[in-house]
Amino acid sequence: MIHSVLIINNLGNPRLSRFYTPVSLQEQQHLIKQIYELLLQRNLSQSNVLVLPELLQGADGEDETVRVIYKSYATLNFVFIVDEQESELGVLDLIHEFVAALDKCFGNVCELDLVFGWEVLESVLEELIQGGLVLETNSDRIVQAVDSANKQVFSGSKPKGLSSSSGSWSLPTNEDAINVATRAFSNASDVLKSFLPSSK
């Protein structure tokens, strides 16, 4: 089972933290910090797998062997915390497919894409893993499912400002801005007048 999926940048800031087993917020923060400190000590010649039995306990109170499998891409470390039932090479391939799907969604994904496009990041992860179990491993199908979900969201009603003819966002004109401001000020003045004593 996959216990957690983390994306941590080179400064130790989590860009994604999804836990599939119950872990308190304080334990999550401690776990992320501990994993980051261990990743700092690793070099390129070492394995991408860490065995850390002390990090998580099983539901029955017995320690369970937990492995941290990670792969670094530029300034981001993609970290999966798994139990001994998961294949190490399979998880490394899963990380690669996760990054490949993000690349296809964002076009050469970078850290800022994950910060400002967190909805897409969450959607891709939900297509990949749910409840700690792998659903899909093909990045093309993941991207297709995310695109399909986005089309369904926008098919019922177009967002305001979306031009129906060109399919691109249109900026409001000065006249639109003036009309909005005029309505806002007139509404505000009506509200203020209701609080002032009448001069009769």
pLDDT in tens, 61-115: 555 678 999 999 989 999 999 988 999 999 999 999 999 999 999 888 999 999 9
Instruction: Give strand pairing partners of 70.
Output: 79
* Contact assessment for residue 58 and residue 52, using Cβ atoms and an 8 Å cutoff: no
* Contact assessment for residue 76 and residue 15, using Cβ atoms and an 8 Å cutoff: yes
* Residue 59 CB coordination number (10 Å): 8
Encode pLDDT of 151-161 as tens digits.
877 665 554 44
Q: Supply the pLDDT for residue 167.
A: 45
Q: Supply the pLDDT for residue 161.
A: 45
CATH of 2-155, one of 3.30.450.60, 3.30.413.10, 1.10.260.40, 3.40.50.10070: 3.30.450.60
| Side chain identity at residue 173, one-letter code | T
Q: Supply the pLDDT for residue 163.
A: 44
Q: How far apart are CA 194 and CA 118, in angstroms?
A: 44
Q: How far apart are CA 169 and CA 148, in angstroms?
A: 20
62-70 CB contacts, 8 Å cutoff, 24+ apart = 66/3, 68/35, 68/38, 69/95, 70/35, 70/39, 70/95
Average pLDDT over residues 146-169: 60
Instruction: Give strand pairing partners of 66.
Output: 83
| Side chain identity at residue 88, one-letter code | E
Please indicate, yes or no, whether the overall pTM of this predicted structure exceeds 0.75: no
